[in-house]
Structure formats: C-alpha cells, structure tokens
Copies of this chain bind each other. A is one copy, B any other.
C-alpha cells in the first residue's frame, strides 16, 4: 500500500486497514518507543523496577520526573511514553487497587490489576470519541502467588514477564534475554535492570536521574538517592 492509501485508514481509531491492522494503535506504540525506557526484573523475593529520566534542565526537580509510581502497598507501576497519558493510567491504577482493597478487605492480585488497566486501554481503541493511550505500563507486585510483572501495551493487551522493558528500542530486551537468570536475588536483579538501561544510553548512569524501586512481601520501596548511588556504583 502506498503512502496515500495508508492515510485512509490511520486517521480514525475505529477502522481497520485492509490487512486487518489498527494504525492508531501502532502509532501509539510509536509514542511509547519515543519515550525513555523503564525496566522490570523479577527475582526470588520480588520485582525490581528501574528508570532513567533525563531532566530537561538542571533546574528541574529530579524527583518530579515520575516514571515509577507506588500504586498500593504491594504494587508499583513504571510508565513509558506520553507522560500525561501515563499519569492518567497510574491514577486509575491507584483508584482501582484501593477500591478493590476496600471492597474485599485484602490487596488486589497483581494480575487482576494489570487486566483491569488493559481493559480500560482496549476500550479507547474500539469506542469512538477518544484516542488510544500513548503509554505503556509495567505493573510489578507481590501477592499470594508471589512476585509478578505485567506489561500493558497501547492495544490493551496484558502479558506476564520474568523481565522486560518498555520504551526505547529493542536493545534493552536483548540485554535482558542475555543476562537474566532465574536464580537472581534482589541485588542482582537491580544490576540486571541497570545493565539494560546502560545499553540504551550513551551517558553514564547518574544517581540523580535514576529511579529504582523494589517490591517485595514487605511492600513497595523507592530507593533513596544514596541507595541509588550505591546501586550505580556496584
């Protein structure tokens, strides 16, 4: 199909192209690729999330570039892509987790939360009056079934991973496929995550720009700058 015909199918979200594709969803995926990458790595006791957020200026408060978000005691979310879209999904994740906890008196399963978010994302790809979300999520948590790491992409598909990355190009997943091992402890998981991020940037990793969070049975924990400095140095 030449360029002119393609444009016939990709302007409105509610139409398929002749080869059965939804261009608007694929363009939303492109918005994710343009974003800075975030990485999730499961290990025996939990999940590690890491992100590298370059500031637009040294005057920007480094902590205000939120790429990792505590969603509930036992769940965190990392986001890549269009920042404002991602914030909306994170808000929805918090509301959903809290509502479930109130209703049933216990924390929401990580898989259930990831699927609930995926449902909301799918809705925007089928029903008129809105565009898809230009953001992808990593939902990381520990529940009765142990550690869990889910990706939710702009089509609204949830998938479970031992380790993965969203945002940036394919080099991060290549690194993870090579380096990930099943018998990691948390410290090694952090190293693996940072190693993947190192692949995606030419600059040295800096504790200021990095965000690292761990989720274990003890809950969600955002590493302090000192802890991050240790992690980068290790």
Residues of chain A touching chain B, judged by Cβ–Cβ distance below 8 Å, are: 3, 5, 7-24, 27-34, 56-61, 63-65, 81-85, 87-88, 91, 115, 118-119, 121-122, 124-134, 150, 155-164, 173, 176-177, 180
Contact residues in B for A127 (Cβ distance below 8 Å): 129-130
Interface of A is mostly: mixed
Name the B residues within 8 Å of A27 (CB-CB): 15-20
Closest to A152 in B: B84
Known pairs A57-B173, A61-B162, A126-B85; A15 contacts B20 (CB<8 A)? no
Give the nearest-CB partner of A159 in chain B: B64
CB atoms of B59 and A34 under 8 A apart: no
Residues of B within 8 A of A65 (CB): 159
Other than the known A12-B15, A64-B161, what 16 A-B pairs have Cβ atoms closer than 8 Å? A5-B7, A10-B15, A16-B24, A16-B131, A16-B132, A19-B27, A20-B30, A20-B32, A59-B162, A59-B176, A61-B159, A87-B115, A87-B119, A87-B157, A88-B126, A124-B126
Chain B hits for A17, CB < 8 A: 27
Least Cβ–Cβ distance between A1 and chain B, in angstroms: 9
- For A11, give the chain B residue with the smallest CB separation: B15
Q: Which residue of B lies closest to A58 (CB)?
A: B177
Closest Cβ of chain B to A62, distance in Å, is: 9
A131 x B161 contact (CB < 8 A): no
> Which residues of chain B are within 8 angstroms of A12 by Cβ–Cβ distance?
11, 15
Report whether A16 and B3 are in contact in the complex, using a CB–CB cutoff of 8 Å. no
A213 CB → nearest B CB, Å? 19
Cβ distance A53 to chain B, nearest Cβ, rounded Å = 11
